[in-house]
């Protein structure tokens, strides 16, 4: 008797080949893929969806390519128990690179979808592995839509005559999704439908402004959920934080398996398993937490606080990569970075911890949302910004603040004038 469920695993944003401040992450990715393969076996997964950004760059290093093909080969080696595998291109992926092996991989139940002229078939039938016969022939359908660039949405010719460029792109993307959805419904009426996407959705949150700089699909700054069809599940990629969009459990970013920046340190990473049961309206969704193979820690504060935490790490000899952020300018600052160099040198060659990056961070002037700017050196900061921060730390308020700023500006103008005279 065939089973009445089909199980899907959703993952994305592997970024194979990525480094973190010049630190190799090949071993972390290797351990993740080994863990993922074991999970696929233990959870009896019928279809694996990788929702884009498999690689970190258009020209991935050989080590990253080996991880990718070794993983796919290991799954293909499972024979009849190999899940159907659907891979879509993300904004970091080269469509040409992914497409190069598409015909070969398709013979192994591995389907690669990238927005190049050869990728016309985006609808995939997923059948119950226990039986290819009715009553549960086509268990579900996958509309595999990759990252959509300007040329893929085919609206460039209309831009010059259109005032609402954002609306134009949103409308084009919406039509692309609805067209695929309608085709899927005609292909197997009544079967659950999964749609993929690699884009920035309204109501979702970024991890930071560094590891997720590209927010756009074409010219889309974001796409409202209401413009998409009513699919049974949306398997999204692009953002690194695992999350449901707008509180909709069936519309999810799986997130990246590894933290891609220090702002993601401590963030729980996961993959999504959705189980579709015959005649059930909604899938059962479960998150599987991904183990952490390399600890990251971001230490923020003034030099005193940072020193204290570094000493704790040194004493414990923790295996941790560290990001130092000075966001409190109270106390002595200028010699602090030299102390960090000495700290690293005194730790010895066998120390597990590494200081990968060090910088300053301040709130943007006039920001009411806590938005910050970062600087790698104190010379990058405007002296007035530092002075205002110092006044704040010393609890100087009201008229006193204005008085001190006037004095500061007067002294600064005098110093700059004298410096100019010396240059002449």
Give me the DSSP letters along 73-124: HHHHTTGGGPPEEEEE--TTS-HHHHHHTHHHHHTTTEEEE-SSTT----EE
Among residues 267, 289, 311, which one ends one of the domains? 289
pLDDT at 363 > cutoff 90? no
**Does 120 share its domain with 147?**
yes
pLDDT at 136 > cutoff 50? no
Rounded to an integer, the average pLDDT of 334-338 is 78
**Does 333 share its domain with 202?**
no
**Does 263 share its domain with 301?**
no
**Does 247 share its domain with 300?**
no
Rounded to an integer, the average pLDDT of 133-150 is 77
pLDDT at 318 > cutoff 70? yes
Rounded to an integer, the average pLDDT of 283-289 is 96
pLDDT band at 210 (very low <50, low <70, confident <90, very high): low
pLDDT at 114 > cutoff 50? yes
pLDDT at 364: 54
How many domains does the chain divide into?
3
pLDDT at 340 > cutoff 80? yes
Task: Please state whether beta strands 354-363 and 320-326 pair in parallel, antiparallel, or not at all (unpaired).
Answer: parallel
pLDDT at 132 > cutoff 50? no
pLDDT at 368 > cutoff 50? no
Question: Which residues are 111's β-sheet partners?
Answer: 86
**Does 119 share its domain with 221?**
yes
pLDDT band at 133 (very low <50, low <70, confident <90, very high): very low
CB atoms closer than 10 angstroms to residue 210: 12
Instruction: Indicate which CATH number applies to the domain containing 348.
Output: 3.40.50
Rounded to an integer, the average pLDDT of 269-274 is 98
Q: Give the percent of the chain with pLDDT over 70.
A: 80
Q: What is the pLDDT of residues 156-171, one digit of tens each?
A: 555 555 557 778 888 8
Is the backbone peptide bond immediately before 95 cis, with ω within 30 degrees of 0? no
Rounded to an integer, the average pLDDT of 144-152 is 86
Q: For residues 98 and 113, what is the distance between their CA atoms, to the nearest angstrom?
A: 8
pLDDT at 279: 72
Q: Which residues contact 140 (CB under 8 A, 6 or more apart)?
A: 6, 8, 47, 126, 191, 192, 193, 194, 232, 276
Range of the domain at 371: 295-381
pLDDT band at 37 (very low <50, low <70, confident <90, very high): very high
Instruction: Indicate which CATH number applies to the domain containing 29.
Output: 3.60.21.10
Q: Is the pTM of this model over 0.85?
A: no
pLDDT at 332 > cutoff 50? yes
Q: What is the pLDDT of residues 60-76, one digit of tens each?
A: 999 999 999 999 999 99
Burial of 197 (0-12, 13-18, 19+ CB in 10 A): buried
Rounded to an integer, the average pLDDT of 97-122 is 85
Q: Which residue has the higher pLDDT, 51 or 383?
A: 51
pLDDT at 292 > cutoff 80? yes
**Does 149 share its domain with 276?**
yes
């Amino acid at each position: 008797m065939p089973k009445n469920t089909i199980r899907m695993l959703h993952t994305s944003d592997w970024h194979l080949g990525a480094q973190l401040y010049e630190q190799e992450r090949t071993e972390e990715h290797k351990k993740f893929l080994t863990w993922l393969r074991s999970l696929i076996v233990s959870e009896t997964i019928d279809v694996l969806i990788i929702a884009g950004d498999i690689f970190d760059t258009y020209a991935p290093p050989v080590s990253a390519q080996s991880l990718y093909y070794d993983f796919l080969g290991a799954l293909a080696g499972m024979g009849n128990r190999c899940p159907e595998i659907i891979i879509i291109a993300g904004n970091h992926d080269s469509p040409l690179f992914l497409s190069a092996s598409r015909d070969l991989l398709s013979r192994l139940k591995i389907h690669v979808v990238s927005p190049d002229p050869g990728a016309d078939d985006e609808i995939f039938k997923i059948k119950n592995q226990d039986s290819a016969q009715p009553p549960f022939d086509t268990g579900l359908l996958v509309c595999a839509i990759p990252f959509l660039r300007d040329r893929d949405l085919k609206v460039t010719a209309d831009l010059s005559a259109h005032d609402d460029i954002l609306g134009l792109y949103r409308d084009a993307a919406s039509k692309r999704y609805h067209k695929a959805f309608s085709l899927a419904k005609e292909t197997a009426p009544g079967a659950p439908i999964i749609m993929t996407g690699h884009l920035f959705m309204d109501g979702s949150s970024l991890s930071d402004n560094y590891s997720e700089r590209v927010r756009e699909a074409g010219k889309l700054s974001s796409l409202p959920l209401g413009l998409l069809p009513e699919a049974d599940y949306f398997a999204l990629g692009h953002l690194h934080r695992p999350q449901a969009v707008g509180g909709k459990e069936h519309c999810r970013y799986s997130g990246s398996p590894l933290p891609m920046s220090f702002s993601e340190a401590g963030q729980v990473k996961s993959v999504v398993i959705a189980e579709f049961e015959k005649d059930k309206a909604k899938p059962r969704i479960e998150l599987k937490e991904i183990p952490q193979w390399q600890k990251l820690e971001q230490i923020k504060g003034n030099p005193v606080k940072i020193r204290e935490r570094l000493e704790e790490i040194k004493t414990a000899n923790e295996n941790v990569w560290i990001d130092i952020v000075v966001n409190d300018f109270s106390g002595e600052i200028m010699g602090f970075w030299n102390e960090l160099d000495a700290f690293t040198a005194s730790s010895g060659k066998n120390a597990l911890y590494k200081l990968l990056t060090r910088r300053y961070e301040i709130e943007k002037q006039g920001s009411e949302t806590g938005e910050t700017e970062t600087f790698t050196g104190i010379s990058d900061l405007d002296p007035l910004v530092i002075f205002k921060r110092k006044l704040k730390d010393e609890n100087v308020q009201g008229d006193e603040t204005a008085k001190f700023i006037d004095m500061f500006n007067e002294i600064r103008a005098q110093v700059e004038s004298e410096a100019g005279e010396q240059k002449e």
